[in-house]
Structure 1
């Protein structure tokens, strides 16, 4: 994975057809996604239960782009190696998921993955100043983690701006997870984000038998941000 700040769209398979993950992933990649986002939830750190390492291993062979695994679990450390072995390219842990996030980020990189750090809506950016040289990505949650389809929290735009200033010229992506639409995407890109996770906004209206809407939805998000950059 070479680093660049061009806009990347990472559809969340949480909004895909669970019975057809392989085909769904192949469809979104064929329609132009940049990364594939996998939301791992434990029913403890967040109020939902989703996927584990076996599912990641099973879908890895269908992913030609980047497997972006978001660990909404606590504790994180005991599962890092399993998700790395399952084929994750990026492993993102929450700052709030344990007392030793520095150690967690070391372990993620030690397992051969890019290291991501996620921030809940109620968490400020001040606590990550001494972690920025250890991460490859910071994920700003613009909804409360746990469920798809929630309403976008606009106060997080200011957080993205502060984060962009803190990162400076470091090769660190700013990822947004939650409520991304053609309406919110321009605000986020203007603030400094370069990876947009979108679930329902990508998968709505389409299916493995009719994947064209996936491409239409992703192009609508891109077009909204291109209009901003051209303005």
Structure 2
């Protein structure tokens, strides 16, 4: 099963008691009619897309695991933000200006109505219709920020959470057992940036696991396949232990 709209892609068949991979930043697509006013090559950088995430999510899909993926760039609309946050339509990102997002109030409202609202309405409907044993929120992070090149990011993977750390506490030692350098609330805290999971998981009591993979780990097909197998296996183990 594969469904695609202007806003999202749904891969696989969501099953009751299964695992749903949610990737808010899985695409760098800019729909026709939107001009962000940036150099085209920036659409291949981390400011526009979580590099490697789509490839990992696609490879994770199998019986019992489906994937709900954003189908527009985070620069068009950042789905992992609160509905009233200015960063939904970012005007700057890692030191780069995004002039096409300096919109009037009506323009902002129209963009949010067209993209943000249907993405979240669709996710809420799916989770209500087909409850999951675990939601895996999948992101990737850049090894080095252009705006802060001195900041060290040695973690190969980070686990993020807000108040509900049930799945995180299970996943961290499982990831460490793979020989990985694991960040607990690194490279940043889920208490500060967890909007989609706050809305669809924490607010509803649904177990979730927030994963950030460093982008150099999953830039190519080999790394994506490795991490897809790893995360599918660990997510299944976490879901079983949560029962």
Normalising by structure 2, report the TM-score. Answer: 0.35
- Which structure has the larger Rg over C-alpha atoms? 2
Q: Greater helix percent: which structure?
A: 1
**What is the TM-score when the length of structure 1 is the normalising length?**
0.36
